[in-house]
Structure 1
Amino acid sequence: MVDPTPENSDDNETSASEHNEERDSGPSRQRRGRRASLGKIAMTVGGLLLVVGGIWVTNLLTAQRPAVRGLPDHPLTPAAVTEGDVRVETDSPEKVRASIDGNTVPVRVRDGTALLRPSELSEGSHELRVELPSGALPWNRTLTESFEVDASPPELRLPETVNSESFSDPVTISGTAEGASRVTIGGKEVPLDGSGRFSRELGDPAASVTVEAADRAGNTTSTEVRVEVDHPGMRAVHMTGLAWSSDQLREPVLRMARQGLIDTVELDIKDESGEVQYDSAVPLAERIGADKGYYDARRAIDRLHDMGVRVVGRLVAFKDPVLAEAAWKAGNRDQVVRTASGGPYNGGYGDYSFTNFANPTVRDYNIDIAAEAARLGFDDVLYDYVRRPDGDRSGMRFAGLEKTPSESIAGFLRQSRERLREHGTYLGASVFGITVTRPESVGQNIPKIAEYVDYVAPMIYPSHWGPGEYDVADPNNEPYKIVRRSLRDWRGTVDGTGSEVIPWLQDFSLGVHYGPGKVSAQIAATKDNGIDSFLLWSPSCDYTQAALSAAP
């Protein structure tokens, strides 16, 4: 056979190739080149778009999601909204714009957070609208939140006082708290039933117990419940420390106690001279030389208690020449009542006479002595001179006084009662007889004082009333009338406070001779007012036994 392939086949292939090259020349080859260039450009642009898109997606994924904080699902108090509790967390806090109910809200940036500071809002429903950049998106993002404002605190209903027969008996505090979600009594949360009722028994209550109710918004209502312990009453006579150390004066008093004519003796703790009558361990009393040790307090108390006789300690509070002079000379002049020109107030009492009841050191000094007396075994502490000096108030200066004198003095008694209650000791306050109608005359507001003492002891001595008081022409000569009428006023004034009235009666002569008849007339007038207690005062500590024997 003859091979069909031409001998010059290689030449033919070459010719074909050359022919193709010739054919690709010209417009066709130019078009293919352009397509290739466009493809390369497309690939480049696509790559760039992928990179940009990747960055955009990355930014979108990593950007902080904006959120409104501080709007819980329960109502808020107006203060919680206005004081910056509502905030927006975002990467761009400075760009946050906000409005509530269509009104623009100021925005403050702090620590990378946008704090909303609207003006005070009314109770009811509100809508918050927040606009802010949304990261890589070309438009703003809007957030809306609805919330409630509640400005009404819960309503507490419970008694102002609860009574107990002794300091050791438990008391129960009960009441209702309308609108409350939480109630605490003495700092301890108590359960609420479906009607808002609550109750707690206190085994060792303080003189006053705080009850607080709160709602879900955070509105609170707080009140104090006073725990009143019934005073056992007294038929008492007063004795100074020096009188108690005298057999001649002490024995007649002990004889009256044995005969049942009296059941209480009042002994001076600190008197109007500023001297602490027994040997005190209170550091300030020792430092200023106030402790004198005229009698052995514990021995006297034990002796009287063994006889079944109660012991009341008389503590003169703010008339204290010893402390006043020591403080003044040491440069502690804020502890002393001063004149308008800055000197020590005299007022007829002496240059260093009255200490400043508003001064913390003065207050603590007296309370420390009272607490010491309670530890020694005194059954009561009865403050005297728990007042400012009498006279024109404008001529006196009380450094640190932020309230009225009567409010400050009531606060001092409240502090004292809290300390004494720890020891199961009663607290009383001796007060001017006229303060029942003239509370600011010496800073003794009786209704306010009565809230913080177990009893008030008005000094209603007939010789101290002016003619015509209570329509009594001559009070000093008509002791029954003036005592009966004034005590009626006193009982009405303390009514509802939980405090009792135990009057000071006169067993001394001042202008008119006072014998058994006039002394016993005062005791009878006291009893006719439904008061079985009294304290007799004799500056000489020499008492009219016949008056006590004749008394009802």
Structure 2
Amino acid sequence: MAVRYERDRHHWGLLAALALGVVLAVLAMVVGAFGVLHPVATVDGVAEGELLRGGELHDRVVTFTPRNPSAVREMEVLVDGQPVSARRGEGTVSVLLRGLSHGEHEVTARLPGLLFGASVARKFTVDERAPVLAVDRPSRPDEHGRVTLRGTAREADQLLVHGARVALPADGSFSVTLDRPPGTVEVTAVDQAGHVTVERVRTATHPGMRAVHLTAHAWTAPGLREPVLDLLRAKRIDTVQLDIKDESGLVGYATEVATAKRIGAVRGGYDARAALRQLHELGARVVGRLVAFRDPILGAAAWRAGHHEQLVQRADGGPWTGGYGPYAFTNPAHPEVRRYNIELAAEAAGLGFDDILFDYVRRPDGPLKGMRFPGATGDPTGHVTSFVAEAAGAIRAKGGAIGVSVFGIAARHPEQVAQDIPAMAKHVDYVAPMVYPSHWGRGEYGVGHPEAEPYEIVKRSVADFRSVLEGSAASVIPWLQDFSLKVKYGPGEVRAQISGAKDAGAGSFLLWNAGCRYQAEGLG
């Protein structure tokens, strides 16, 4: 029995030794594997937890350098668990990161077939999105002039309101009260990757106006200018609308804008600084009317120079007329056309015009299928709106307010003239619909004879615009008429329109007479 016991003990000893050898061999194998990649192996090109902007991935190379150069032949590289092609050099394996979506990712190098899959990895995050910023309509100023801004800044790390940093809770919501802020406040959201989203918010509502229209010629003619100044002195009006560029394409004063000089758009006119000084001394607000896309002077000059793409064209490629005359309408999608009008607007605001009011900021009326807008992407409506947005930034940078004159039908039928009222209103201080009673067809807004019922048609059409702009910071300031077409318009008809607008919630107005002669009695 003793001999057998010794034999068994020897047998089990051999087995134990063999098992221990296997374990030691396996451990040596594992340790050897990790010795190739980790912790001795180096990883260059991306750090653990690094945040990468999407644009940085175009040239981001990650390089793995194992301790044992021979391991290069067997090494696999995976991105998010999927094998990718890699470049193998002397003792290195590298991969170019590209086409990765927004979010977390992992790049891994491993030696397949080894126990436990020895590997080294780096986790990183790709950020290719700017923060999503939404600012609610500002509160009206309280009795102390304070305004509260509320909104949300999603995926933002920092928020600046009027230059001051604002704390952001986890849900991104914010509320900040500003003490007597300027008319426009800049709200900026920044994420960890440095992406920036900016929104400029109007915090001051337009003060309103009781205005009459004056052409450049009328200002230089004492017989037309002085009666308007008398209306100011008598407090019947508080604002004068003075033309900057009119329907003919003429600029009303000696502008310094190079394009206007080159195309011959400056021919005499008034002294802008002197006119503004005189009107401001009388306590008046001065609105500069700038006819945008109806511009036969620019159109003719562009066509003669071979720049046909600057004009709205017929389907056959000729200049569109539509009853407005040759070269009448310039192309709202063309950069040079836009730039010219914005340069004039910015110059006028810098001179001291309180408001810049764009007119003919639209496509020509008529069937769209008969028109071509070279370079336009889709319907011209988007180009008109983007022009207004671009112009607003240039005007406000000079301290001016901005308005847009729009067709009366645009509240219900914006497609007919490419005037998207809610979209444009996001960028302006007021919308000025031309709700002249003489321009409505019978039965519009349920009014049987609009021209003979000025109170009703104005009240209903203005109410419609106010409904369309519900929730917008933009005011509605209608154009009313002090002229006669089929129905004789005296002081009573002017007063009726003003009352209709007021009863619809619009206490302001702009009064139009092409001859610039106004009936004082109609103004109260």
TM-score (norm 2): 0.80
**1:159 and 2:139 matched:** no
- 1-structure distance, mates of 2:115, 2:165: 51
State the shift of 1:488 in Å. 0.9
Q: 1:525 aligns with which of 500, 504, 519?
A: 500
Q: Distance in 1 between matches of 2:223 and 2:101?
A: 77
List per-residue Cα deviations over 1:522-549 (Å, max 9, x = no partner): 1001111222110110111111212112
1:374 aligns with 2:354: no
CA contact (8 A) 1:380 1:427 kept: yes
CA distance in 1, matches of 2:419, 2:460: 20
Deviates more, 1:422-431 or 1:177-186: 177-186
| Contact kept? 1:503, 1:534, Cα under 8 Å | yes
SS at match of 2:416: coil
- In 2, the alpha carbon distance for the partners of 1:83 and 1:300 equals 57
Identical counterparts, % of pairs? 44
Answer yes or no: is the 8 Å Cα contact 1:507–1:536 preserved in 2.
Answer: yes
Asked if the contact 1:207–1:417 (Cα under 8 Å) also holds between the matched residues in 2, the reply is no
Count how many residue pairs are aligned between Structure 1 and Structure 2. Answer: 480
Matches within 5 A, 1:108-187: 108-109=86-87, 114-115=94-95, 129-132=108-111, 142-145=118-121, 147=123, 159-162=135-138, 177=153, 180-183=156-159
Q: For the residues of structure 2 that align with 1:409 and 1:207, how far apart are their CA atoms? A: 22
The 1-side partners of 2:237 and 2:62 are apart by 72
Q: Structure 1 496/341 Cα, relative in aligned 2: closer, same or farther at 3 Å?
A: same
Asked if 1:303 is matched to 2:278, the reply is yes
Contact 1:153 1:221 (8 Å CA) reproduced: no
- What is aligned with 2:4? none
Instruction: Output the CA distance in 1 between the equivalents of 2:61 and 2:147.
Output: 43
Write the distance in 2 (CA, Å) between the matches of 1:376 and 1:110. Answer: 66
Which AA in structure 1 matches 2:302? A
Note closer, same or farther for the CA distance 1:109–1:212 as it changes in structure 2 (3 Å cut). farther
Residues 401 and 210 of structure 1, relative CA distance in 2, 3 Å threshold? farther
SS of equivalent to 2:280: helix
Indicate yes or no: 2:46 matched with 1:70. Answer: yes
- Tell me the amino acid that sits aligned with residue 109 of structure 1: R
- Superposed displacement of residue 161, structure 1: 4.0
Larger deviation, residues 277-286 vs 402-411? 402-411
State whether structure 2 residue 98 is matched by structure 1 residue 98. no
Q: Distance in 2 between matches of 1:439 and 1:321?
A: 24
How far does residue 229 in structure 1 lie from its aligned partner after superposition?
2.4
**Greater mean deviation of Cα atoms: 153-162 or 199-208:** 199-208
Give distance in 2, aligned partners of 1:163 and 1:419. Answer: 25
Quick one: distance in 2 between partners of 1:227 and 1:454? 8
Q: 1:340 aligns with which of 287, 291, 315?
A: 315
CA contact (8 A) 2:181 2:203 kept: no
Return the offset for 1:380: 1.0
Name the structure 1 match of 2:433.
Answer: 458
CA-CA distance at 1:481 after TM superposition: 0.9
The alignment yields a C-alpha RMSD, in angstroms, of: 3.9
Deviations 1:341-368 (A, max 9, x none): 2211111111211111111111111111
Q: For 2:94, give the aligned amino acid.
A: A
Q: 1:292: which partner in 2?
A: 267
Change (3 A) 1:109 1:389: farther
Contact kept? 2:137, 2:149, Cα under 8 Å: no
Hey, what does 1:211 align to over in structure 2? 188
Mark the CA change 1:153 to 1:512 in structure 2 (over 3 Å): closer, same or farther.
same
Q: Which residue of 2 aligns with 1:393?
A: 368
Distance 1:508 1:80, change over 3 A: closer
Q: Secondary structure at the match of 1:107?
A: coil
SS of aligned partner of 1:209: strand
Deviations 1:182-230 (CA, angstroms, capped at 9, x unpaired): 445579876556776666969986856353242x5x5968462422422
Question: How far apart are the structure 2 equivalents of 1:395 and 1:89?
Answer: 63
Question: Is the 1:96–1:107 Cα contact (8 Å) retained in structure 2?
Answer: no
Residues 481-510 of structure 1: per-residue CA shift (max 9 Å, x gap): 111111111011122221101000011111
Deviation at 1:266?
0.8
Q: How does 1:219-298 map to 2 (within 5 A)?
A: 222=197, 224-298=199-273
* Distance in 1 between residues matched to 2:386 and 2:253, nearest whole Å: 27
Contact preservation (8 Å) 2:331, 2:374: yes
Alignment map for 1:478-497 (pairs within 5 Å): 478-497=453-472
Query: What pairs up with 1:25-44 in 2 under 5 angstroms?
Result: none
Letter of the aligned partner of 2:83 in structure 1?
Answer: V
User: 1:106 corresponds to which letter in structure 2?
Assistant: V
Q: Match for 1:296: what amino acid?
A: D
Query: Unpaired segments of 5 or more residues in structure 1?
Result: 1-59
Separation in structure 2 between the aligned mates of residue 155 and residue 285 of structure 1, nearest angstrom: 41
**Whole-Å separation in 2 of the counterparts to 1:86 and 1:379:** 55
In the aligned structure 1, how far is the partner of 2:522 from the partner of 2:279? 22
Question: Which one-letter code corresponds to 1:307 in the other structure?
Answer: L
1:507 to 474, 479, 482: 482
Is 2:302 aligned against 1:327? Answer: yes
CA contact (8 A) 2:320 2:328 kept: yes
Residues 244-280 of structure 1: CA distance to partner in whole angstroms, max 9, x if unpaired?
2222222221221111111111111110000011122
Q: What is the rounded CA distance, in whole Å, between the counterparts of 1:110 and 1:274 in structure 2?
A: 67
CA distance in 2 between counterparts of 1:398 and 1:170 reads 46
Partner Cα separation in structure 2 for residue 133 and residue 185 of structure 1: 54
Alpha-carbon deviations, 1:417-459, whole Å to 9, x = none? Answer: 1111122211111000000111111111000110111101000
Q: CA deviation at 1:396?
A: 1.6
Deviations 1:46-99 (A, max 9, x none): xxxxxxxxxxxxxx99xx93427536336889x699878573323687764234
* Compared CA separation, residues 200 and 132, structure 1 to 2 (3 A): farther
Distance 1:351-1:93 versus aligned 2 partners, 3 A rule: farther
For residue 394 of structure 1, report the CA deviation from its aligned partner.
Answer: 1.8
Q: Give the distance between the partners of 1:203 and 1:524, measured in 2 at CA.
A: 33
Structure 2 portions without partners, runs of 5+: 1-35
Quick one: distance in 1 between partners of 2:72 and 2:251? 68
Shift of the 71–456 alpha-carbon distance from structure 1 to 2, 3 Å rule, reads same
Largest Rg, 1 or 2:
1
Aligned pair in 2 of structure 1 residues 184, 379: CA closer, same or farther (>3 Å)?
A: closer
The answer to whether the 8 Å contact 1:170/1:205 transfers is no
CA distances 1:263-315 after superposition (whole Å, capped 9, x unpaired): 11111111000001112221111111101222222222211111111111111
